[in-house]
Amino acid sequence: NQWLNAELAKFMESCKSKVDTEDSVRKVLEDQLSKIQKEWDETKRLLCLEQVRSQDLDNQVSELHKQVGMSKVDVRYLTRTKAEVEASLAKQKEANEKLLEKMSTAESDTCTLGSKLASLEIELQSLKKEMDSKNQQITSLTKTHDEISEQKVLLKNENVTLRNDLALLQLKVQENQHLNQIISDKDVIIEEKTDAIDKKSREVKKLKNGIEELKTVLKVLDDQQQEFTAQLEKQMSTAKELENINQILKNENNDIRGQLTQCRKDLNESKSLKTFMEQRLRATENENQSLESKVQQQLTFLTSSNEELASANTALTTRVNKVEAENVQLSTVIASHIKEKEQLATETRQLTNIVVNCQEENLTLKSALKETLSKAETYKEGYEKYKEICRIQEQEMSRMQVQLSTKVEQQEKLIDFLQGQLEKQEKKKKKGILFTPKRSEKDAYTPKAGTPLSRPGVGVVTSGENLTSAKYTPVTKQTPTLPPPRKEECVLLKEKSNTIGAGYAKTGDSKSH
């Protein structure tokens, strides 16, 4: 019992320590999940900023497309926008690298969480095995307790039978004492009537025969008493064999009852003989005195047999007392076993409650781990989608950068071309100042269709204006056209970003996306 209590205490301590470790692990997991959630919110915020920047860039590109038709294009502004675009691309690359690092840390955290959960499941299985072993021990103890209770019932039945036997033996001893009293009374009568015994010596032979019959009866009684003692010794020796003793005791009880009935018959016969002897003694008061010595010898023999019966009775009483003491000890042992059984039942209830709590916590941890794994998978999918969006944006940015570079080159070429045309026009203007041309000459000097000066966007120098302050109308028709921006890709990127934001936002922040 002490060993079982120690094992149960150890098991309770191990369960408490494991529950504490599971709580600490659960807290660590919650902290990691909160960190991952914060990082994911930060990534969503950065994604929103990048989307806003991409929209700004799209607006800038559209404005640039609108400004391409202008005659004067600021090359410095284009270079500045180019530098800003490059800087934004660099920042976006850095943000993508940070996101990659965060996703790698999140994947490592999910791996560690999975390993921790596997270890916790293994510990839970070991705890279940220990609980099964403890339940088996408890069932074995209950079986032993039931066996002890059955033995107690058998011993109680045996004690009842032994007490009945003891009562019968006490009755027999009382009868023997009564016989001894009768014999003492007979001695007094014999002393008084010794003279009559001397006179009636003839009838002494008959009395001798009766006394011999009494001796035989006493021998039979002694044999029966020895048989009783042997049977009692057998009963005490067979008390250890608790399985077959009930039937044996019943059979012996029936035999003893038969023997007691026989003893009663013998006592009745002895009483009849007593009456017969009293009649004979009254008739033989004057018989021989020699019979007195023989009768005294017989009396001594009877007293010795009575003493033997008393010693056997004391031995039986001592044995009965021993059996009662053993019964008391067994009752105390059974009471202690009942208390131990109650303690084990309470401990098993506590252990079952602990196991139920552990199972509930394990289920909560499993559900939390499933949620974290699902979130990690969703985060991973979102990261893959965001990565694809970033890749498309990078391609778009590179394409836009190429377009801007080509636009700048085209604008520079256009400016060079316009400057050349202006120089030619100035030269022609200087020549036209010396003389006033005719109408036909003016028509000859007017630019024809197809020449660069005939374009609607190119300005014509008028007289009285400086060359530096010449005004030009914006080129609208035959300027070098650039390929239009890919609006379908921009729309696709916006739709993907909106779907990602709607899928991972916990509160309705889809409007910000």
**What digits encode the pLDDT tens for the residues 154-203?**
777 776 777 777 677 667 667 766 766 776 676 666 566 666 656 666 66
What's residue 286's pLDDT? Answer: 61
The pLDDT-based confidence of 353 (bands split at 50, 70, 90) is confident
Residue scoring higher pLDDT (413 or 148):
413
**Class of residue 7 by CB neighbours under 10 A (exposed 0-12, middle 13-18, buried 19+):** middle
Query: Given this model, what pLDDT does residue 380 score?
Result: 73
Q: What is the mean pLDDT of the chain?
A: 66
Two structure tokens written together for 262: 């026989």
Q: What's the pLDDT tens digit per position in 397-406?
A: 788 878 878 8
Give the pLDDT confidence score for residue 198 in this predicted structure: 64
Residues 462-508: pLDDT tens digits? 433 333 333 333 443 344 444 444 444 444 444 544 554 444 444 44
In this prediction, residue 367 carries a pLDDT of: 76
Burial 397-422 (b: 16+ CB within 10 A, else e): beebeebbeebbebbeebeeebeebb
pLDDT of 116: 66
pLDDT band at 149 (very low <50, low <70, confident <90, very high): low
The predicted model gives 218-229 an average pLDDT of 71
> Where is average pLDDT lowest: 109-118, 227-236, 243-252, 499-508?
499-508
408 neighbors 75 (Cβ within 8 angstroms): yes
Tell me the HSE value of 444 on the side-chain side, using a 13 A CA sphere.
7
Percent of the chain with pLDDT over 70: 36
Structure-token pair, residue 343: 């303690």
Q: d(Cα 18, Cα 10) in Å, to the nearest integer?
A: 12
The domain locations on the chain are: 158-339
Q: Which of 22-26, 244-248, 289-293 is the most confident on average? A: 22-26
pLDDT band at residue 456, thresholds of 50, 70 and 90?
very low
Q: Does residue 65 have a pLDDT over 70?
A: no
Task: Tell me what pLDDT residue 62 has.
Answer: 67
C-alpha torsion angle, residues 260, 262, 263, 265 (rounded to 10) = 130
